[in-house]
Homo-oligomer: A and B are copies of this chain.
Amino acid sequence: MKPPSGVPGFRFAGLACGIKESGRKDLALIVSERPATAAAIFTRNRIKSPTVVSGRTRVARGRLQAVVANSGNANACTGPGGLRDSEAMCVETARHLGMDARHVLPSSTGIIGVPLPMETIARGIAAAVAALAPDALQDAAEAIMTTDNGPKTAAASCRIGGRTVHVAGIAKGAGMIAPNMATMLCYVLTDADVAPAALRPMLRRAADETFHAITVDGDTSTNDTVLCLANGVAGNPRITRGGEGEDVLERALTRVMKELALKVVADGEGTKKLVEVQVDGARTVAEARRVAFTVANSKLVKTAFFGEDPNVGRLMMAVGNAGVPVVEETIDITLGGVRVVRRGVAVGTREAAATKVMQRPSFVVRISLGMGEARTSVWTSDLGHEYIRINSDYRT
C-alpha cells in the first residue's frame, strides 16, 4: 500500500534546520486550516520535559490548530529555561501562521539535558512555514525521527453519516518504549467532526490497546505524546460521546494507532523480531498485563528471542516473577502454536518445532494461566547486539 501523503484540511512540513549535527531533518510542522478538536495522552514518567508540561496545558482546552515538533533535543532536565523555550517555539510558530499561540502544541525528542538551540529553531520554523504543503506528511514523519530506521505512517478511512472520513498518523520511537509510551511521539490526524468530550475517551481506549501494549526496553521517556487532531473538514454530523459514528471512528483510530505501535516495536532499537505475548486464563486484565509485561521485558527472555532459543525455563521464570500468584501446575505455554509447557512441565520433544517458529521474524508466545477468563496481548522485541551498539554509542 502506498504510504499516506496527507489528510484533508491539514498541511505539513519537515526539514533540517540544524539541530542534528548529522544534517538530517529535525523540525516538523503540522497545521490545520481551522482550529481542530484535540485530545492527547502524555508520559507517566515523574520527570517530564517542560515541553510536555507546556503541551498538557494547551491541549486541556480541547482545541489546537498546529503542532511544532523538533527532534535531536528533548528539552528535558533543562530547568526553568526549558519551559520558556517550549513556549517560545509556540509563539514563534503562531506569529508566522497568524494564529493564537495557545493553539500550538510543542514537542521535542532527542538527547536530554541540553538547552534547545533557539535561534536555530526560530530560523527552522520560518522555513517550515514557507514549506507547508498538503501532501508533505512523509516529510513531517521523517523530521520527528531520532534512532528510527525510517518514517512511520499509517492511514485508514471510514464512512460516517454519508461522508468519507480520513485518518492518518505519524509516529517516531524505537527505544525507551514501555507500557507508558516512552520516547514516543504520535500524531493522529482526521478530518472527522468530533466533540472534545467524545475524542478524549476514544483516544484513551485506542491507546490502551496499542501504545500502552508495547515494550522495547521497559524504559519510559520524559517526552511521550500521543495527540489526535480532528478538524471537521469531512463535514460529517458531529460525533458526540456515545453518539452515532463514535464506534466507527474509534475503530479507524485504533487501526491506525495499532499499525504505528507495531511499527515502533518492529523498529525497536537494533531488534529483528516482533513478538506478541498473549496471556489468557488470568483472573483480571491487570494481572494478565503484569504477567505479559514481565515476560515481554525480561532481559533473559528477550536475549532468548534473539538467540532463537525456545528456552521455556526463562519463560516460566518470568511468569513466576510477575508478582501474580500463578499456579505452576495449571500453566500451558505455546510458541507459534507449538506446545512447549503442559501443566507447568517442559515438553522436551517439541524443541525442534519451537526453534523453527522462533526463526520467523514474528511469532506469538501464548501463556495460559488456567486461573480465570481475563486475557491481554502485548508486543515486544528481541534484545541483541544492535541494541547495545546503538544505546552505548547514541551520544558519542
Contacts and interface: CB of A to CB of B under 8 A. Distances in A.
A47 B305 CA distance: 21
A-side binding surface: helix, strand, loop or mixed? loop
A311 interface: yes
Contacts of A328: 46-48, 77
Contacts of A314: 112, 219
Given A77-B312, A176-B300, A316-B77, A383 B394 contact: no
Interface stretch (A132-140, A158-166, A384-392): A384-392
B384 A388 contact: yes
Contacts of A309: 392, 394-396
Given A298-B219, A317-B219, A392-B384, A112 B303 contact: no
A78 B345 CA distance: 5
Assign chain A's interface to a size class: 35 or more
A202 to B, nearest CB: 27
A52 to B, nearest CB: 11
B391 A388 contact: no
B112 A47 contact: no
Nearest to A175: B300
Highest count of chain B CB atoms <10 Å: which of A45, A320, A321, A322: A321
A111 interface: yes
**6 closest Cβ pairs, A-B complex:** A112-B313, A113-B346, A307-B392, A47-B320, A303-B391, A79-B345
